[in-house]
Structure 1
């Protein structure tokens, strides 16, 4: 996932209900699709963060030596400032970037 070029909202905003429901015609179905995509995004971001933080991991049993790693702090702050996965999923939904199909219609 390209976390550098996300243009989703970082704060809470109000969305047009008709814009959200227009692809499916059903609010609950649209929210379900957006929620599933948000879970996928959350997993991708979490894997990416863990992978980057593994570089800074120390495997000492001693708790006496705790080092402040400025690079690790910067990585953590970057991921904290990212938009929430739900905001990213809603933005993708409104931009038509999420593929969905109705399985009840063959």
Structure 2
């Protein structure tokens, strides 16, 4: 599993140089498509990790009316809320050349 805590991505909105984004593919739409797919992967990984950590602190009751939140759950949730968003992490990975991709359209034989 990747370590999102070590990726230095911005936590707020940033304007990127379009030429840097589309440089690897020479096509801005293809670059954004690759980044979007990676952002989905990152989001799934973060969500899975968060659910696993929250499960450690879960308390189960027979009554649906009573919901207990303990300090550990709240701290874990706050930590994940402060992380950069998946799309920011994916863009940073793209700019750092850490995403492997290939165009499969050229792979087909006629």
Aligned-residue offset at 1:93: 0.3
How does the TM-score come out when normalised to structure 2?
0.90
Structure 2 unaligned segments of length 5 or more: list them.
none
Structure 1 unaligned segments of length 5 or more: list them.
none
Q: Pairwise mapping of residues 72-91 of structure 1 onto structure 2 (< 5 A)?
A: 72-91=73-92
* Cα 1:18–1:66 shift into 2, 3 Å: same
Secondary structure of 1:104 counterpart: helix
1:30-59: CA deviation from partner (whole Å, max 9, x where unpaired): 000000000000000000000000111122
* Equivalence for 1:5: 6
Aligned equivalents of 1:98 and 1:73: distance in 2? 33
Structure with greater helix percent: 2
Instruction: Check if 1:99 corresponds to 2:100.
Output: yes
Instruction: Check if 1:46 corresponds to 2:47.
Output: yes
